[in-house]
Amino acid sequence: MKYWRIILATLTLFGSATVGFSEDMSGAALTKVISHQVQTASIQEQDVDETLHVYGKVSFDDAWLQNISLAYSGQIIRLPVLAGEPVNKGQLLAEIAADPAAAAAYQQALSAVRFSQSEVRRISSLMRDQLATKSQLAAAEKSLADSQSQLQQLKQQGLGKSIREIRATFDAVVATVPTQAGQRVIAGTTLLQLGHPDRLKILLGVEAEDVRWIAPGNAIDIYPAMNSNIRVRASVDKILHAINPQTRLADMLVRLSGVQTQNFLPGMTVSADVSARMFPNALIIPRQALMYGENNAAYVMTVVDGKAKRVSVQVVLEKEKEVLVKGDVKAGYQVVTVGVAELTDGDSVVMEHGQ
């Protein structure tokens, strides 16, 4: 008649196991007892808003850019501004000398006006002597009106002066200067572009598989890439359903205006957090509770009546510290977070709840 127990190992770390052997009074075979000490956490249920972290670059809003160009050919005499330079309304941007052909066209129009004026006077004098008709006078007056209209158009284009000065029409920032002093340009060539400093756009790259989860109007927080403390709340303006060949991502357009632009400059790299999918009544487990078995099948170890139970789950969304899952689990279930790797289905466990 004897009862004895030999303690083979007692570990104090989470995930340790206490193993013992016992023999009953009749001398029956030894029975092996294993009890794993683990840490657990409760499965939480709540609505989850998926947030995507994306990157992009700031530029002037195309809808508010002003192109400065010429309606005639000429040569750039002076170009005293640089890209990125702030300019005030009325400030000199460029001086242009008209091409000889354009200057000749102006002189021809001016001569046509003078000739038409003399014709009207001559025919009017002949009518007083009844040597001309009203229809002849009407034709002369129409010719004068046409030549005056042509001359006015050329004046509006800046012809009529040997050197034309181009000045800023509003307080702006020089966006681009694709030309240089001394260059000869043809009609329609962009000399420079002016941007509104309080009208910016941001193109952000989105993975192709995430495009379907984002829609115009979704909330987005934008901040300089190196300073997440400066955040601006805006909304998605457009999703461009095409892959950008440079980034290999789809572009998402966000527009900023007014005070939203204060901490951003064209050319700046920014980060952003954009709202994507909504998961109502989502089941959330700590990331360390998720395990993978054969064929990369996900599972968790729950604790039921002091026993470990393996439950297969489907991963819906992975976050930084948490995972959203679906499966034969419910809110409030205890899942093993520390010591889960040493467990097999049916093992006895001693739980200590995690934080």
What pLDDT, in 10s, does the model give residues 36-61?
Answer: 888 999 999 999 888 899 999 999 99
Task: Specify the DSSP class assigned to residue 62.
Answer: G
Q: Is the pLDDT of residue 279 over 60?
A: yes
- The whole-number pLDDT of residue 98 equals 85
Number of CB atoms found within 10 A of residue 204's CB: 24
Most confident of 91-95, 127-131, 140-144: 91-95
Tokens of 248: 């290999």
Positive/negative CA dihedral, 57, 62, 66, 71: positive
**Per-residue pLDDT tens over the stretch 205-218:** 999 999 999 999 99
Higher pLDDT, 46 or 153: 46
Whole-Å CA distances, 181 to 75, 79, 107, 162, 173: 8, 5, 26, 17, 19
pLDDT tens per residue across span 7-35: 333 333 334 445 444 444 444 444 455 67
Q: What is the pTM assigned to this prediction?
A: 0.65
C-alpha dihedral (296, 297, 300, 301), degrees to nearest 10? -90
Percent of all residues in the chain with a pLDDT value above 70, rounded to a whole number = 89
Given a cut of 90, whether residue 85 has pLDDT beyond it is yes
| Residues in the chain, overall count | 355
Look at residue 246 and tell me whether its pLDDT is greater than 60. Answer: yes
pLDDT level of residue 228 (50, 70, 90 thresholds): confident
Q: For 94, what's the count of Cα atoms within 13 Å in the CB-facing half-sphere?
A: 28
Q: What is the mean predicted confidence (pLDDT) over 297-320?
A: 91
Q: Work out the pLDDT band at 189, boundaries 50, 70, 90.
A: very high
> Domains in the chain, please, with CATH?
5-37 (no CATH), 40-46+281-353 (2.40.420.20), 51-61+196-279 (2.40.30.170), 63-195 (2.40.50.100)
Whole-Å CA distances, 184 to 137, 189, 271 = 44, 10, 42
User: Region 67-81: what's the mean pLDDT?
Assistant: 91
Give Cα 200 distance to the centre of its chain.
11
Look at residue 11 in the predicted model and tell me its pLDDT.
30
* CA–CA dist 355, 353 (Å, integer): 7
pLDDT over 70 at 69, yes or no: yes
| Terminal C-alpha separation, the chain | 47
d(CA 154, CA 167) in angstroms, rounded, equals 18
Phi, psi of 153 (to 5 degrees): -60, -45
Q: Say which amino acid occupies 245.
A: P
Locus of tokens 């461009």? 240
**Lowest mean per-residue pLDDT among 60-64, 100-104, 221-225, 251-255:** 100-104
Query: For residue 223, is pLDDT > 70?
Result: yes
Instruction: State the pLDDT at residue 34.
Output: 66
- The Cα 128–Cα 201 span in angstroms is 68
Decide if 256 contacts 201 (C-beta within 8 A).
Answer: yes
Q: Is the pLDDT of residue 152 over 90?
A: no
